[in-house]
Amino acid sequence: MIHDYGEDKPHCPVFFHAALFFVLFVMTDKNNIDHITDITPETVAKLLADLESLESFNTDVTQAGHELIAAQTRLHALLHNASDGVITLNPDGTAQSFNLAAQQIFGYSEGEIITSKISHLVPCPDWANDNVTDYLRSFISDRDSDDIPLVGVHKDGHEILLHVSLSEVVNEEVELFGDDFFDIDDAVADNAFDEPIVCFFHDVTSNKRIEKELESHKSAFDRMAGIIVRNADFSLYSVNGKMAEFMNMTVEELMADPELLSPFSHPETHFSDAMKTTLIKDEFWQGEVCFHTKLGELKWFSQSITTLKDDDAISQYHLILFDITERKHKEQETNARQSALDLTTSVSVTDADGKITYVNDKFCALTQYSREELLGQDHRVLNSGHHSEMFWKDMYGVASTGKPWRNKVCNKAKDGSIYWLDTTVIGFHNEQGDLERYVAIRTDITTQKILEQNLQYVVDEQTKELRAAAEVAHQAREEAEAANHAKSDFLANMSHELRTPMHSILSFSDFGLKQITKTPLEEKGIEKIERFFSNINESGKRLLGLLNDLLDLAKLEAGKMTYNFKKQDLRVTTEKILTEFSTKLIEKNVDVKFLSPKNTLAHYDHDKISQVIANLISNAIKFTEQGSEIRIVLENTDVIRDAGTGEKVSVLKFSIFDQGLGVPEGELEAIFDQFIQSSKTKTGAGGTGLGLAICKEIIEAHKGYIWAENNPEGGAEVSFIIHKS
């Protein structure tokens, strides 16, 4: 009860001093005493005693007044600076005080509110007639819960949610002394003490918004997670609908049989002593548990347990469970695939600097290093030196961008053996975009690589063979085409060679017949007939020679030519043939030089070698210009019979040199083929292209060799060798 003593109100000390003055006046003035007949000494004594008591009471009241003023000052400061808004209202609803917190809550200054009604701060219903005090008393008495907020209005117009409480000032009677009571209001009768109301406002707008959001979150959380509440002894207290849904049961079924919520087949997930110790220490535990559902399925959950304490003692456990069955199955599948991968695939992980941080068992098996030997190392320990520095720069350049790099890599194991890997490397970056690690996946392809190398060798060899076969085929084709062309040339030449002597025979025969029919025969006619028969004879011999060549070639190719080998003098054979060509040599004015050692014995068939030498001398005369020289050389020499042993054999070499046009370098071997003539000599010189082919067959039948060369001094050189024994 608060009283305000103003300057114009009577004070007890004034009354006390007046009474004391009156007593003294009476006691000092006998005349006055005489007039106051009812004053007795006892009365004065009693009055003085009462005055002394009144003086003591006045002192106590004065002291109490000072303490009351100090308390009022402290109370005013406390209310003015309180964290809640405090508004003191008169019974008519006008404001007496408006503290700082109230100013912050409603947005008004104290000067804008004092002495005015606050119905614009707390809108009142119509029945309240803008009397806020009546409305607040009714609101507090009628509300069902203290949590129901009062709606206020901020200066800027937005609504405020407030918790409100009231404190009213009432009159109290105070026992003064004796059995009498003195009402303080009587002491301040000039200004009767009103009954103001003190309103306490607490802004819960933010709290209510948070509560609403929390309620929304809780509702969403209830739809996502299973929640189990257990008592301190871990007996079941409650379970939410989502947990029942997870278990394919109802909440009632679970509450009726709590054993249904006991984790299945995983003892470590029961409420063990270790779990209890962790909860007591950290007030939190997290792990994985699995349950049997009503359908008999095994369902996995991620479980978090928090504790609710009462006086530092655990009163409840709150279990929050999320269904991770699908994730668990995927993990099991992943683990199974990882196990299968580890059996066939080498996996390693390095940091951004290339230091190895993980290797699987397959990696260790391939490299022959232990895991301890590899961790902290880089892959240079496996470098075989097979790849260039640019090869590795390319790998890091591509993989560091996050793109996969793939290639075949040759590595070296701990024992020095080489092995091949089909390698894929990719770099991974963190959320900031910095390179964090490299992951390399490798498959052993050593066997495949060996097979590839062997296959490549086979392919290379077969390619060489195919190319050689193609070359042979191409050469055979060219030879066939050349042979066909030579055959055409041969037929043309043969037609010419056969036609010419045949034409001579027919012509001279016709002339002879005409001369014979003339009568009488004159001397001159006989000479003509002799010349005609001579020409016929020569043409016949020439035709016979061509036919013999054809027959000889056929026999040589068929292997039916017979030989009569014996030891003979090749120089003598050569001289006889030269004698046969003496007429032609004289006709063409060609000189022959014949050089021969003393011993020119050799093992050969006289007729066949004579045929060869005659053909060679005939060609030399044919292709040598008039007035030139032919040189024939015989010489003894040795040739190697066996290149492996170096064994030698004695041979006799025959060489003939002419001074003709020579033979093109590309045709030195071809002129010994059938129907082939040198491109320099086949026009204008005659011949069928069979002579040298026959010579080659004869010499090879003697196990010898014949060849042609161009003479550095001009013309051609044709040589052959035959065994001496």
- Report the SS3 class of residue 486: helix
CB 619 within 8 A of CB 611: no
The confidence score (pLDDT) of residue 535 equals 66
Is it the case that residue 305 has pLDDT exceeding 80?
A: yes
How large a percentage of the chain has pLDDT more than 90?
24
Q: pLDDT per residue over 67-123, tens digit each?
A: 777 776 776 777 777 788 998 888 777 888 899 999 999 999 988 888 888 888 888
Question: What's the alpha-carbon Rg for the chain, to the nearest Å?
Answer: 71
Tell which CATH classification among 3.20.20.70, 3.40.47.10, 3.30.450.20, 3.40.718.10 matches the domain 76-170+193-210.
3.30.450.20
Average pLDDT of span 335-350 = 82
The confidence score (pLDDT) of residue 393 equals 92
Average pLDDT of span 690-710 = 88
Average pLDDT of span 43-65 = 70
The confidence score (pLDDT) of residue 294 equals 87
Question: Domain limits of the chain?
Answer: 76-170+193-210, 225-329, 562-723
- Report the SS3 class of residue 565: strand
Mean pLDDT of the chain: 78
600 falls in which pLDDT band (50, 70, 90)?
very high
d(CA 699, CA 720): 7
The confidence score (pLDDT) of residue 349 equals 93
**Topology agreement, domain 225-329 and domain 562-723:** no
The confidence score (pLDDT) of residue 575 equals 92
Q: If you classify domain 225-329 with CATH, what class do you get?
A: alpha beta
Backbone angles phi, psi at 603, to 5 degrees: -100, 105
Average pLDDT of span 364-377 = 92
The b-or-e profile of 527-552 (16+ CB within 10 A means b, else e) is: eebeebeebbeebeebbeebeebeeb
718 falls in which pLDDT band (50, 70, 90)?
very high
d(CA 79, CA 69): 15
d(CA 203, CA 234): 40
d(CA 198, CA 170): 12
* CB contact set of 696 (below 8 Å; sequence gap of 6+): 672, 706
Least confident of 34-48, 125-139, 649-663, 682-696: 34-48
Is it the case that residue 169 has pLDDT exceeding 70?
A: no
Model pTM above 0.85: no
CB 387 within 8 A of CB 409: yes
DSSP label of 195: -
The confidence score (pLDDT) of residue 4 equals 42
Q: pLDDT per residue over 206-238, tens digit each?
A: 888 877 777 777 777 778 889 999 888 888 899
Please state, in angstroms and as integers, the Cα–Cα distance from residue 359 to each residue in 258, 324, 351, 418, 440, following that order.
46, 29, 12, 19, 10
Average pLDDT of span 478-489 = 69
How large a percentage of the chain has pLDDT more than 70?
72
Q: pLDDT per residue over 173-202, tens digit each?
A: 433 333 343 343 443 333 333 578 888 899
Q: What is the DSSP string of 583-646?
A: HHHHHHT-EEEEE--S--EEEEEHHHHHHHHHHHHHHHHHHSPTT-EEEEEEEEEEEEEETTTT
Average pLDDT of span 683-699 = 72
Strands 236-239 and 284-292, sheet pairing: unpaired
- Assigned CATH for 562-723: 3.30.565.10
Average pLDDT of span 299-309 = 88
Which contacts (CB < 8 Å, 24+ apart) does range 449-457 have? 449/408, 449/420
Is it the case that residue 543 has pLDDT exceeding 80?
A: no
Report CA torsion sign: 501, 506, 510, 516. positive
Strands 150-153 and 159-168, sheet pairing: antiparallel
d(CA 269, CA 290): 8
Which residue do the tokens 């707008």 mark? 205
Q: pLDDT per residue over 118-157, tens digit each?
A: 888 888 887 776 677 778 888 887 776 667 888 999 999 9
The confidence score (pLDDT) of residue 41 equals 64
Is it the case that residue 634 has pLDDT exceeding 90?
A: yes
The confidence score (pLDDT) of residue 78 equals 74
Please state, in angstroms and as integers, the Cα–Cα distance from residue 372 to each residue in 25, 356, 376, 378, following that order.
119, 11, 9, 13
Q: pLDDT per residue over 417-476, tens digit each?
A: 999 999 999 999 998 889 999 999 999 999 888 888 888 888 888 888 888 888 888 888
The confidence score (pLDDT) of residue 37 equals 47
CB 682 within 8 A of CB 667: no
Maximum C-alpha span of the chain: 249
